[in-house]
Amino acid sequence: MRPQRIACALALLCGTFSLTVPAQPAARDAGAAASAPASKDAFADARRRAQDTPFAFRGIALGITLDEFRAGSKVRATPVGSVPVCETDVQAGALGMRLKSHESLTVACRWAHRDDNGWALSQAVVDGAPAAEHVLRFARMEGQSALRLYEISFVIDEVTAEDLRDALADRYGPPRHATRNVSSPGALPVYVWENAVSSITLCFLPGTRNGTLTYLLKGSDAWVKSVVRQWQASDAEAG
């Protein structure tokens, strides 16, 4: 799924009312006027909190720890009975981190289930439809021991992607970035929703009639690279 995410990144570059004395309308009007700023302040506070809260995929929020993810009951996959299976991320494996190591600095999780032949990969359910691929990535943030969720990615079909684009716009408003009706060869239709700490990117892939959906913590690329540098430095010292 990493090449698809890179392709998408390249595309981005192109009141309370009194009922006691009915003979006092002026007092009621004054009370309503006084409550209006309070209501507006509450609404503004709610918007600010939403801006500072990482996006979540069906209740699974970016930034949660791996232990919280494993302990939670939110399995968004089919068939019923699927569970998260986690191992060292393939990116970390390329650096020499041992697969299935609990000491890994980066971990990738997917939902899986047991069938007659043993363990099999499950399908994440996105907007009511099974996804072709999915992965949830965790890494140790600088200065912390816990692995935290920094990316959730899916490959979904075109119909689901189009429906999801409208659903995200209804929930979060128009995307901060959108490329539509792309005419230049190789350019991809991309839609991005952002808040202060995270983003959601929906990218339509040419030829495959698929889309990629990515939830991402802002700044995660920088500290994942920092984790890689730490690992490489420690490995060199050990050698």
- 209-229 pLDDT, tens per residue? 899 999 999 987 776 766 666
Asked, for residue 203, whether it belongs to a domain, the answer is yes
pTM score, whole prediction: 0.74
pLDDT of residue 20: 31
For the segment 71-78, the average pLDDT, to the nearest whole number, is: 91
pLDDT of residue 22: 37
Asked, for residue 72, whether it belongs to a domain, the answer is yes
Tell me the per-residue pLDDT of 99-119, one tens digit each, with 9 for 90 and over. 566 567 788 999 999 988 888
Tell me the per-residue pLDDT of 171-201, one tens digit each, with 9 for 90 and over. 999 998 887 655 555 567 999 999 999 999 9
Asked, for residue 169, whether it belongs to a domain, the answer is yes
Asked, for residue 32, whether it belongs to a domain, the answer is no
Q: How many domains does the chain have?
A: 1
For the segment 160-174, the average pLDDT, to the nearest whole number, is: 95
pLDDT of residue 163: 96
Asked, for residue 190, whether it belongs to a domain, the answer is yes
Asked, for residue 135, whether it belongs to a domain, the answer is yes
The pair of structure tokens assigned to 35 is 């409550």
For the segment 60-85, the average pLDDT, to the nearest whole number, is: 93
Asked, for residue 33, whether it belongs to a domain, the answer is no
Asked, for residue 17, whether it belongs to a domain, the answer is no
Q: 196: domain range? A: 2-11+53-238
